[in-house]
């Protein structure tokens, strides 16, 4: 039955004076029921409207669940990348490359963990899971070390002189020639400047 029919029955029964007799009449079959005649078209329209409302609510709740899951994945990934970047920055600042190589050596060597052929299946499965779980961190550390070594070599090329001597040795015939070396910083060149009007 449609919701309107049920509601009209309950309201009509409660509006009558004697509630006990009305409830008996409601559940007994000997009392003829006095109901208004409702067209089948009205009942069908009510049922189709209820079905459409239910169908419209289901995708909305599914979309809300998908959006919240996508949002969680997005922000979780962003937080993980931010944490990894902050950790790499701290390690770069606090330790030298040699110290990092020494401290991460056991982790990188544990990637080659294996068991013998005569080991039980559980041990083989455990070794396979351990290798799978340790592959990403070990490869990430190796990538970090490679990138840090490359960057440090590039920086050394600019910060340290290529030779121990500033000028090459003079030819014996040119021993009487003097060389004047000028420091041009704050003489002709200024490394800092201010815009003033």
Structural domain count of the chain: 1
Q: What are the pLDDT digits (tens) for 7-34?
A: 667 766 666 655 555 555 555 555 555 6
Q: How far is CA 111 from CA 87, 103, 130, 175, in A?
A: 22, 15, 8, 62
Q: What are the pLDDT digits (tens) for 51-93?
A: 666 665 666 566 777 788 889 999 999 999 999 889 888 888 8
Q: Could you tell me if residue 135 is inside a domain?
A: yes
Residues 6+ apart with CB under 8 A from 185: 191
Q: Could you tell me if residue 66 is inside a domain?
A: no
Q: What are the pLDDT digits (tens) for 89-133?
A: 888 888 988 998 999 888 888 877 777 788 888 888 888 888 888
Q: Could you tell me if residue 61 is inside a domain?
A: no
Q: Could you tell me if residue 171 is inside a domain?
A: no
Range of the domain at 106: 95-158
Helix, strand, coil % over all residues of the chain, rounded to 5: 70, 0, 30
Q: Could you tell me if residue 123 is inside a domain?
A: yes
Q: Could you tell me if residue 137 is inside a domain?
A: yes
């Amino acid at each position: 039955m449609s919701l309107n029919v049920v509601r009209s029955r309950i309201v009509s029964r409660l509006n009558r004076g004697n509630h006990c007799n009305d409830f008996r009449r409601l559940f007994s079959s000997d009392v003829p029921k006095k109901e208004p005649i409702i067209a089948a078209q009205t009942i069908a329209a009510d049922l189709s409207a209820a079905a459409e409302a239910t169908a419209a609510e289901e995708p909305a709740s599914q979309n809300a669940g998908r959006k919240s899951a996508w949002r969680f994945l997005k922000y979780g990934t962003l937080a993980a990348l931010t944490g990894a970047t902050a950790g790499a920055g701290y390690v770069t600042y606090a330790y030298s490359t040699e110290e990092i190589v020494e401290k991460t050596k056991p982790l990188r060597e544990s990637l080659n963990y294996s068991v013998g052929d005569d080991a039980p299946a559980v041990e083989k499965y455990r070794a396979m899971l351990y290798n799978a779980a340790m592959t990403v961190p070990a490869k990430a550390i190796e990538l970090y070390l490679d990138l840090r070594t490359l960057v440090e070599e590039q920086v050394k090329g600019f910060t340290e002189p290529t030779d121990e001597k500033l000028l090459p040795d003079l030819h014996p015939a040119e021993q009487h020639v003097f060389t004047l070396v000028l420091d041009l910083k704050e003489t002709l060149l200024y490394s800092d400047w201010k815009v003033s009007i």
